[in-house]
Structure 1
């Protein structure tokens, strides 16, 4: 699928409705931006809530580590 979009004077582009629908992109979603040679690659970031095993006490360090792991996973696009 190839669709032309115009860059506005604020350097913004609109993602066409057909692309948004196909990828399930909604208002408030995060997209990662990568440069691959002469290409700009946008990827929808899959945000997931981390699951924490119950039945054990969590320290502040545990919570900080889990938050950092979740942020890194989201930044990579859910790898």
Structure 2
């Protein structure tokens, strides 16, 4: 069973063999659940929308789009 360490910023690195088995790539979203004393992570299956280059977006637009995408991933 692979082991990982919690950093001082409370981050963990998923071992390469786990990433490979689940097909986890940079930018993917994971759902995190606590079950008693266990932490369970699931790769979200939804495909994320992409933005087309050349659109003029305000920081508010970008934040709104990110929030919408996060809600879509959680359904």
Q: Which category of TM-score, normalised to the shorter sequence, fits these structures?
A: 0.5 to 0.7
Q: Tell me the TM-score normalized by structure 2.
A: 0.64
Query: Which of the two has higher C-alpha Rg?
Result: 1
Instruction: Note the residue ranges of structure 2 that are not aligned, 5 or more in a row.
Output: 49-67
Question: 1:33: which partner in 2?
Answer: 32
Question: How many matched pairs?
Answer: 55
Q: Write out per-residue CA displacement over residues 16-50 of structure 1, whole angstroms, 9 at most, x where no aligned residue.
A: 1110000000010000000011000010001147x
Instruction: Note the residue ranges of structure 1 that are not aligned, 5 or more in a row.
Output: 50-66
Q: Tell me the TM-score normalized by structure 1.
A: 0.61
Q: Hey, which bits of structure 1, 4+ residues long, moved more than 3 A?
A: none
